[in-house]
Structure 1
């Protein structure tokens, strides 16, 4: 902590000494809104399907349309954050997705909903890679996993808060359209706040203290890359086998998440005949479990890494164990007959799933150059979210053809097991050295 002590001795500790946590909070608020907006379509799904007479298979196609927009902008948004900075990219993305959240209300047939969902996906795509870039710029290595976990924990919290708020607004107004408009307006206001508070790098911020700047930058001058070299290009990094293994593992995570995100509220309504009032509570419980999982996952692996000196390896094996656990939890869904049992099972599965949520990003940040973090993370996220295209369609088709919701969850369990085992046997990681 030599740099920290020097700043303290020279008195250059004025202004904010914990500005990075304010930046994390603003990023977290945007992620909260991001997933609240994304979860909204799942809550409204039974009512939209009823109004427009959409079958489960047709609705699966509409839901998957989101990922046709989302997937390319995972990479493009991450690449843009490396080139233009996370402040501009996240702010513009937030305004874009908020506008198209509100535009959901003008959908009138299959084609119109598909187009709206694709454009909505354009705005939502950059958020994960831009968040990783922001955290990588603003936090020291020793806090990387915790910061990523805490920031991303706001995504399921968005679902936990957004579900009852959306239901409450539907009950208050008597239709499903007003909540989408409300979320759109809130999103634009959040984006304005982001532009006011956020800066791309700590040294650019007028509120930063010398003490905090020293803490953030400590050790970065020593960072080297054994595998990639300090001058490795983005293309060279993307050729590494570990990138593809992480992407495939993340794909299995994304499959399970999209299955839950797109179909769980409809499953509760159709399979368990839950009413709209109870949906506000039952639909939010798994999201609360996910919030706890995401927040604690990064903290746990940071702590294990500190004790063992094998930070990246701890992230890998936690991911393997948890993905296998989610797969095991999905199987009994074929036998659950009560609402309480279904919600409990899904809450447990989502908790385990989200324990892994920050690990993919942290492994990338600790293994590859920080200057390419947005591009590499965006590329991995894009490949992973191809599951968002396939999973809703396959799940809807399987449910419609078999007449069983459990069969859709079994498919998810198989994908999860393959992703976990691939990372276990082929994902070679080091001890966790951040590279630049």
Structure 2
């Protein structure tokens, strides 16, 4: 008589019988990179397409500024509840829902007919995309031992740098070749639904224990690297918000993020209106900050994991971002200005892996998703203010960004003295 085979025990037996050491956690990190890559192309294509939408009379400049800021606001809110949902239901289900949602909203953006429609589409896009960051942070906490997390964060954060690198030439090419600003939104929506959703469903398990691609040796290695955290007790939201360390981390991250989002959303408009460049040249210069940021992420992640120091990198990087932006916006020579502005934006690559490694140290596995949602959610709501000011006035906006970056850098240095 045949017997039923328990799929869970079968999966474990298959893993136990394998004597080959796997490193599937790093392939999983690559999948998270692709997910963030799609996400960032979907949100940054508006920076190239936006001026064309204004030129066609579909939206106004003020509406575009408001739409970008409201995107960050709802993005911040959805970080908070997305992190909570990932702790409760697991990151895989929430990630799949978020991916399909934001892909549909990207498609909707390609068919907006007025300023109000654009604002509505960006609000809805933010509600989907904001869930993404706390999900990735929870995955890194579960899938990687503590001494590998800066490098693991580096992998998926490549999506943040490669997204804009691809966005500049790719979106420019789509617009120029098709003759319409609608094409980038339509193409990327289809990529998210048809290509990325199946990958998440197959690869992105909540924990390495659930993956048939992880060998028993690799699982033991991951678990050994988490032993020092296994006894951690759950931390309430109120306890987190009462801690000085969390607020220092938030101010540091917000100072850098305000500079980054300002450049992300408004650099093409700045180059066209202030530096008087063509759309083609704007797409070229738009890539430079993110090429440098990619280099910074790699160097910082390895150095930070080796030294096991985080906030000293984040603090100094944010100060350099403020100084670089000040010098770049006051330089007369275009090439020099773009190099300095690019260095300013590239400092986000120094801050990113170290900020998230500090966060993953602050929070136990039980609610790291909630913690990541709080940090990134509040940071995006704060950054929305600077993004809106910059969209209205470059002179006032850049001053605001520079001052905030210097304050954020000082907060990071104070946090470094506290041992992070």
Alignment map for 1:170-249 (pairs within 5 Å):
170-188=175-193, 189-223=195-229, 230-249=233-252
Quick check: 1:82–1:375 contact (8 Å CA) kept in 2? yes
Match of 1:3 in 2: none
| Structure 1 residue 150, shift from structure 2 partner | 2.1
- Indicate whether 1:390 and 2:385 are aligned: yes
- Indicate whether 1:260 and 2:249 are aligned: no
Quick check: 1:252–1:415 contact (8 Å CA) kept in 2? yes
Question: How far apart are the structure 2 equivalents of 1:53 and 1:184?
Answer: 21
Question: How far apart are the structure 1 equivalents of 2:189 and 2:197?
Answer: 11
Match of 1:137 in 2: 142
Quick check: 2:328–2:339 contact (8 Å CA) kept in 1? no
Moved more, 207-216 or 295-304: 295-304
- Indicate whether 1:36 and 2:25 are aligned: no
| Structure 1 residue 30, shift from structure 2 partner | 0.6
Q: What is the DSSP-based 3-state SS (H/G/I as helix, E as strand, rest coil) of the residue aligned with 1:283?
A: helix
Match of 1:318 in 2: 313
| Structure 1 residue 12, shift from structure 2 partner | 4.3
From 349, 355, 359, the counterpart of 1:364: 359
| Structure 1 residue 234, shift from structure 2 partner | 4.3
| Structure 1 residue 31, shift from structure 2 partner | 0.4
Alignment map for 1:369-380 (pairs within 5 Å):
369-380=364-375
| Structure 1 residue 389, shift from structure 2 partner | 2.2
**RMSD of aligned Cα (Å):** 2.1
Match of 1:280 in 2: 283
Deviations 1:86-132 (A, max 9, x none): 11111111111111111112211121111100000011101111111
- Indicate whether 1:425 and 2:414 are aligned: yes
Alignment map for 1:64-213 (pairs within 5 Å):
64-188=69-193, 189-213=195-219
Question: How far apart are the structure 1 equivalents of 2:87 and 2:300?
Answer: 26
Specify every segment of 5 or more residues in structure 2 that has no aligned partner in the other structure, as ranges. 1-14
TM-score calculated relative to the size of structure 2: 0.91
| Structure 1 residue 207, shift from structure 2 partner | 2.0
Assess, with a 3 A threshold, how the Cα gap between structure 1 residues 348 and 222 changes in structure 2: closer, same or farther. Answer: closer
Question: How far apart are the structure 2 equivalents of 1:179 and 1:201?
Answer: 34
Match of 2:10 in 1: none
Deviations 1:356-405 (A, max 9, x none): 012111101112212211101110111111134211221123x2xxxxx3
Quick check: 2:386–2:397 contact (8 Å CA) kept in 1? no
Question: How far apart are the structure 2 equivalents of 1:382 and 1:301?
Answer: 25
| Structure 1 residue 326, shift from structure 2 partner | 0.8
Question: How far apart are the structure 2 equivalents of 1:335 and 1:361?
Answer: 32
- Indicate whether 1:412 and 2:395 are aligned: no
Match of 2:11 in 1: none
| Structure 1 residue 57, shift from structure 2 partner | 3.3
Question: How far apart are the structure 1 equivalents of 2:287 and 2:68?
Answer: 20
Quick check: 2:52–2:181 contact (8 Å CA) kept in 1? yes
Question: How far apart are the structure 1 equivalents of 2:21 and 2:415?
Answer: 44
Question: How far apart are the structure 2 equivalents of 1:284 and 1:177?
Answer: 21
Question: How far apart are the structure 1 equivalents of 2:74 and 2:242?
Answer: 24
Quick check: 1:365–1:373 contact (8 Å CA) kept in 2? yes
Question: How far apart are the structure 2 equivalents of 1:112 and 1:26?
Answer: 33
Specify every segment of 5 or more residues in structure 1 that has no aligned partner in the other structure, as ranges. 1-9, 306-313, 400-404, 432-436
| Structure 1 residue 61, shift from structure 2 partner | 1.0
Assess, with a 3 A threshold, how the Cα gap between structure 1 residues 11 and 131 changes in structure 2: closer, same or farther. Answer: closer
Quick check: 2:92–2:201 contact (8 Å CA) kept in 1? yes
* Number of aligned residues: 406
